[in-house]
Chain A
Amino acid sequence: MSLTIDELKAKALQIRRDAIGMIAAAGSGHPGGSLSEADLLAALWFRVMKHDPKNPQWAGRDRFILSKGHGCPSLYSAMAHAGYFDPAILPTLRKLGSPLQGHPDRRFIPALEASTGSLGNGLSIGIGIAHALKLDRSDARVWVMLGDGECQEGQVWEASMYAGAHRMENLTAIVDYNKKQLDDMVKHILPLDPLGGKFAAMNWHVLEIDGHNMAMVVEALEESRKVKGRPVAVIAHTITGKGVSFMENDPKWHGVAPTKEEATRALAELGV
């Protein structure tokens, strides 16, 4: 799939609408971080990643891991519209028997490369996959999306140090740097700055972008494929709750579902 920038913007909007609708229908979930990551997911799933929804286990596919697993409503939406499953099941999120579990679960959807939800795990799993791809002489790439709050986990830095030292050029980490975590804004809990500097110090190629500027997002992600001899960290500056005025920049919306009425207002802002 290789959509234009405008088409990708439309996909991102669709993802946001779906995420709000799904979380409202479920009555629980994480809207803030689902909205902030939507543009990045649209660019990956509809343009940048090599993958084949008709053949999810294709050996040559790029691997994507949503390490910030609570952002899965947007991932499910992207995968559904890419053709992995019927978008009609999106409203079953978090319901008993649904493959759309509250956090990504490989037992239900084998096309997910990792079961996540305990923050801090994704990058290490991505490194293992990247090693295996090299051993198998594959030129597929591994993409791992992390939350900024998640970057407080020590394991992220063990993994980061390792990937840099081992020059893992087939690995891209994307940080959804939305400045908020569960209890409060990141700067009030445990500041991360300079986040790019930390990755750079560990031998990563660092790209800092506006994670809502689709042209910039696509350019950075496509550039990361060309970097030789180093893993790539894309620090995507984003806004929590992006696209819904009353959710933007408010940590209150980290893990609270909108009411029916709030969802209707949110969807109106998202062009429904």
Chain B
Amino acid sequence: MVREFTLGPATREAYGATLVELGKTNPNVVVVDADLSKSTYTAKFGKEFPDRFFNVGIAEANMVGIAGGLAHSGKIPFCSSFACFLVNKGYDQLRIAVAYPRENVKVVSSHGGISIGEDGPSQQSIEDVALMCTLPGFVVCVPADEAQAKDLVRRAAAHQGPVYLRTGRPKVAKVYDGGEFPFGKMRQLEEGTDLTIVANGLMVAEALKAHDALKEEGITARVLDGYCVKPLDAEAVTRASLETGAFVVAEEHSRFGGLGSVVAQCLAQHAPAPIEQVCVEDTYAESGSPQQLLEKYGLTWTHIVTAAKRVVQRKGGPTRREPPAGAADKATESEPHPFEV
């Protein structure tokens, strides 16, 4: 059967603990938060280093601007709130006060995705990865578990330039015991030849479970942890395409602009292969328990298995399906037939 994981701390908790560690060794590390420090876990840092902690109130745009100014003056600001408020309310400031002047700000959100549960869509971020990827110069990462989150937070502090890390609310499966997770890379977790599953965040554990279920049916899936969405590990994706020829990309994010989009873009450019996305479709979710929502909105290992079988069927067969009747009349000779999406 599929493997079981022990539940570890939430990635936001890993962030809070690592911040305190960083605060002890680096006096330039400062933190700004917008009245959510208990939820983002920056409150721990605030308690240890009150002089280097700025809780600006419910004012995310101001917070990001302040972070820009702190970075401009040589500090290493970590800037935190829920993903939806931090990115959406702070977007112009992320652009003008951080990305554009390439300030050394570390933007670490909590409550990414729909797995925050009962609070509902106004607090569920399904757009942040897309928005952050479009900001030039930003590194964008989505950690899967405690160990990976810790490494990425340390790496963000050491990196010169803006970084976005998305952490989550719920306790998550322990995938790693530790390890190194450099920016611009993927981590291969399973070898396989029939297809490749690329996943990040809490979908990594689901991808591994899907791998086990598929194996029982004789389908071997390579599993890549796509923790770094930008810069994308194009080499790993291209190699996987040449060696497995089909993809499922799984993420707790909108279909548009996240890991699925950047992998598809990479494939189209370097090594075209059929791809299926396991993601939040073009809709807002609702209130419910995290597990209920992940099931209802299609984000579990069984959804990955279904998508995997679909994509393996498409492989080798016509990845380009017949165009709908009449479509060919509109297309000129030289233009390709429209794909059925």
Contacts and interface: CB of A to CB of B under 8 A. Distances in A.
Interface of A: 26-29, 69, 94-98, 101-103, 105, 107-108, 115-120, 149-150, 152-154, 181-184, 189-190
Contact of B62 (A119, A154, A181): A154
B84 A183 contact: no
A194 B79 CA distance: 29
Contact of B38 (A69, A150, A183): A183
B66 interface: no
Interface of B: 33, 35-39, 43, 55-59, 61-62, 84-85, 88-89, 117-123, 284, 286-289, 292-293, 296
Given A101-B286, A182-B39, 5 more contacts: A28-B118, A103-B123, A108-B286, A119-B58, A149-B58
A190 B57 contact: yes
Contacts of B289: 96
A189 B57 contact: yes
A118 B287 contact: no
B30 to A, nearest CB: 17
Task: Indicate the member of B55, B284, B286, B293 with the most A CB atoms within 10 Å.
Answer: B286
A149 B89 CA distance: 16
A183 B35 contact: yes
Contacts of B292: 96
Interface of A is mostly: loop
Nearest to A188: B55
B89 A189 contact: no
B120 A101 contact: yes
Contact of A102 (B39, B56, B119): B119
Given A149-B58, A150-B58, A95 B43 contact: no
Task: Indicate the member of A29, A95, A153 with the most B CB atoms within 10 Å.
Answer: A153
A182 B123 CA distance: 15
B118 A183 contact: no
A118 B57 contact: no
Query: Which 8 A-B pairs rank lowest in CB-CB distance, beginning with the nearest?
Result: A117-B122, A96-B288, A190-B57, A102-B120, A152-B57, A94-B118, A102-B287, A102-B119
B59 A152 contact: yes
Nearest to B46: A183
Contact of A103 (B33, B61, B120): B120
Contacts of A150: 58
B55 A183 contact: yes
26 contacts: A28-B119, A69-B122, A95-B288, A96-B296, A98-B287, A101-B120, A101-B287, A102-B119, A102-B120, A102-B287, A105-B122, A107-B284, A115-B122, A117-B120, A117-B122, A117-B123, A118-B122, A152-B58, A154-B61, A181-B35, A181-B57, A183-B35, A183-B37, A183-B38, A189-B35, A190-B56
B36 A183 contact: yes
A28 B117 CA distance: 10
A154 B64 CA distance: 13
B122 A116 contact: yes
Contacts, number: 94
A246 to B, nearest CB: 19
Contacts of A152: 35, 57-59
Nearest to A190: B57
A184 to B, nearest CB: 8
Nearest to B43: A183
Nearest to B39: A182
Nearest to A116: B122
B288 A181 contact: no
A181 B58 contact: yes
Given A96-B287, A190-B59, A103 B119 contact: yes
A22 to B, nearest CB: 12
Contacts of B286: 96-97, 101, 105, 108
Nearest to A149: B58
Contact of B293 (A27, A96, A190): A96
A207 B120 CA distance: 34
Nearest to B34: A152
A48 B289 CA distance: 37
A99 to B, nearest CB: 10
Contacts of B88: 118
Contacts of A119: 58
B91 to A, nearest CB: 13
B59 A154 contact: yes
A69 B84 CA distance: 15
A201 to B, nearest CB: 19
A102 B293 CA distance: 14
B59 A95 contact: no
Task: Indicate the member of B35, B37, B121, B292 with the most A CB atoms within 10 Å.
Answer: B35
B118 A149 contact: no
Contacts of A117: 119-123
Nearest to B120: A102
A63 to B, nearest CB: 19
Contact of B35 (A26, A98, A108, A149): A149
Nearest to B296: A96
Contacts of A95: 287-288
A182 B119 contact: no
Contacts of B284: 107
Nearest to A121: B122
B97 to A, nearest CB: 14
Nearest to B288: A96
Contacts of B293: 96
A153 B287 contact: no
Contacts of A28: 117-119
Contacts of A98: 287
